[in-house]
Amino acid sequence: MSNVAVIGAQWGDEGKGKIVDWLSERADAVVRFQGGHNAGHTLVIGNQTYKLSLLPSGVVRGGKLSFIGNGVVLDPWALLAEIAKLGAQGVHIGPDKLFIAENTPLILPPHRELDQMREEAAGASRIGTTGRGIGPAYEDKAGRRAIRLADLADPETLEARLDRFLAHHDALRKGLGAAPIDRAALKAALEEIAPQVLPFAAPVWLRLSELRKQGAKVLFEGAQGALLDVDFGTYPYVTSSNTMAGQAASGSGMGPGAVGYVLGIAKAYTTRVGAGPFPTELFDAIGERLGERGHEFGTVTGRKRRCGWFDAALVRQTIATAGIHGIALTKLDVLDGLDEIRIGVGYEIDGVRHDHLPTAAALQAKAKPIYETLPGWSESTQGARRWADLPAAAIKYVKRLEELIDCPVALLSTSPEREDTILVTDPFAGSDSR
Ligand code: GDP
Ligand code: IMO
Ligand code: MG
């Protein structure tokens, strides 16, 4: 019995939250290991909709343990707001169920301000970040000037950390024409929030190590997607963390052997929020239709998501770089009613065929997708819960994707609702039920 890591195989918003919630029934603990509240994961359970950004998607099931690992960047105010919002929906989260790594770096208001100031200053070359301060917080972690959760417990340490933090940020802000940080106000805000977040602080690595010895099943929940990975994504139009399954180990304090099965989540088409290359993007009525049927608006920022055909060349690439064993294919129902469906299988760049997207930005900008066209289906797949209920053309589409990406489809999702999910291979057990 292995642990499972769920990661996005495209540019985020693949439906990770729905799949993690569904899989969490089989797990004892759910662990976030990177990203922060730039993530937006929507869960639909009966007539309730939950929107999660920082909290692991297992929280809505009572009895599961939730962990936020050291690889995450934590905005403590956003955390408390999310806990309060879920509390109002009847989901109560206390320190007996949620554990946050003591060595998690904090996102502070100056990080958010810096993120937004830089985006404004960049004009047309902006990345289109979520404006949550994610990039600046990771910079401070790598720059060894982050204030970490454990630092809130000791006033002397906090003073020293603030000195270091301000020395860097005030110089940067001066260059951007912004006022220096109000040290007293920031310190007071941290002192005020400390007693509310410190009860959740824990040596997460130790708790997970103990759970592992007890044979507990752990589900690692990735945020963003492999194409937003800071190394392998469409740099610089990426997020600032590693979004791959390998990060599950270092972002939680477990060894590399902790992740057994890597489940990549992919939409049956492609979306992207923010700027950056997107070879199979559609600018026509079909793109509009995918956006409308798929309700493609960002959970975090409300921005319209860009839509396009499934890019098998890119997903094949992320399957290799992320070490994906099986795919959960989501939103198949959004393709219902199309006469024909296209799949990107490679690129033409300056008259030369490429089977993967080159790294150089100039080549990426010139990449024209090469398509294969399959017949669509007129029947509805919405809400299908059995493989046998799918129309023949839909099965053909899924099987062709499997061939092109060279990876089996382990789960299929046919609506936002938790139970509208077809299990082909149980990632925790590895048995094929097709
Ligand atoms: P995440 O960031 O990967 O967790 O994905 P988001 O929650 O941001 O975006 C996925 C959206 O699609 C959410 O609104 C889900 O409720 C919805 N969704 C998930 N799976 C399906 C599906 O199979 N069909 C349809 N129509 N919607 C889905
Ligand atoms: P989930 O977990 C989709 C994108 C932003 C921007 C880039 C950098 O819901 O799939 P950042 O604020 O991280 O510095 O922004 O990354 N982005 C996402 N796109 N889904 C997400 O998360 C995203 N998180 C960040 O739009 O292009
Ligand atoms: Mg999302």
Q: Which atom of ligand 2 is nearest to the CA of 35?
A: 13
Burial class (CB in 10 A: 0-12, 13-18, 19+), 227: buried
Give the angle subtended at the CA of 36 by the CAs of 33 and 37, to the nearest 5°. 140
pLDDT score for 1: 53
Q: How far apart are CA 364 and CA 277, in angstroms?
A: 7
Report the C-alpha dihedral over residues 115, 120, 125, 128, rounded to 10 degrees: 50
- Which residue, by CA, sits nearest to atom 16 of ligand 2? 239
Task: Name beta bridge partners: 368.
Answer: 348
| Residue 316 identity | R
Q: How far apart are CA 169 and CA 156, in angstroms?
A: 20
Pairing assessment for the beta strands 41-45 and 98-101 based on DSSP bridges: unpaired
pLDDT of 347 higher than 50: yes
User: What 8-state DSSP symbol labels residue 133?
Assistant: S
Answer with the residue of higher pLDDT: 269 or 297. 269
Residue 88: HSE in the Cβ half-sphere, 13 Å Cα cutoff: 8
Q: How far apart are CA 294 and CA 48, in angstroms?
A: 19
Please name each of the domains of the chain with its CATH number: 4-104+199-258 (3.40.440.10), 109-197 (1.10.300.10), 267-423 (3.90.170.10)
Q: Which atom of ligand 1 is nearest to the CA of 421?
A: 23
Q: Does residue 416 have its Cβ closer than 6 Å to ligand 1?
A: yes
Per-residue pLDDT tens for 42-84?
999 999 999 999 999 989 998 899 999 999 999 999 999 999 9
Give the containing element (helix H, strand E) for 320.
Answer: helix 312-322
Length of the chain: 434
Residue 347: HSE in the Cβ half-sphere, 13 Å Cα cutoff: 20
Q: Does residue 102 have its Cβ closer than 6 Å to ligand 1?
A: no
Q: What percent of the chain has pLDDT over 90?
A: 95
| Tokens matching residue 14 | 């693949």
The long-range contacts involving 180-188, CB below 8 angstroms and separated by at least 24 positions, are 181/110, 186/108, 186/109, 186/110, 186/162, 187/158, 187/159, 187/162
Model confidence at 265, in pLDDT bands (50, 70, 90)?
very high
Report the C-alpha dihedral over residues 206, 208, 212, 217, rounded to 10 degrees: 170
| Tokens matching residue 68 | 């936020």
**Backbone φ and ψ of 262, nearest 5°:** -105, 115
Residues acting as catalytic residues = 13, 41
Please report which ligand is nearest the Cα atom of 293.
1
Q: Does residue 41 have its Cβ closer than 6 Å to ligand 1?
A: yes
Per-residue pLDDT tens for 18-34?
999 999 999 999 999 99
Pairing assessment for the beta strands 306-308 and 270-272 based on DSSP bridges: antiparallel
Q: Which atom of ligand 1 is nearest to the CA of 57?
A: 4
Q: What is the mean pLDDT of the chain?
A: 96
Find out whether the peptide bond into 236 is cis, omega within 30 degrees of 0.
Answer: yes
| Radius of gyration, alpha carbons of the chain | 22
Are 221 and 3 within 8 A, CB to CB? no
Q: How far apart are CA 263 and CA 245, in angstroms?
A: 9
pLDDT score for 299: 76
Please report which ligand is nearest the Cα atom of 224.
2
Per-residue pLDDT tens for 405-416?
999 999 999 999
**Backbone φ and ψ of 187, nearest 5°:** -65, -45
Per-residue pLDDT tens for 221-237?
999 999 999 999 999 99
Measured between alpha carbons, how far is residue 318 from residues 76, 124, 226, 383 in Å?
32, 28, 6, 28
Report the C-alpha dihedral over residues 309, 244, 43, 298, rounded to 10 degrees: -50
The rounded Å distance from CA 224 to ligand 2 centre is 6
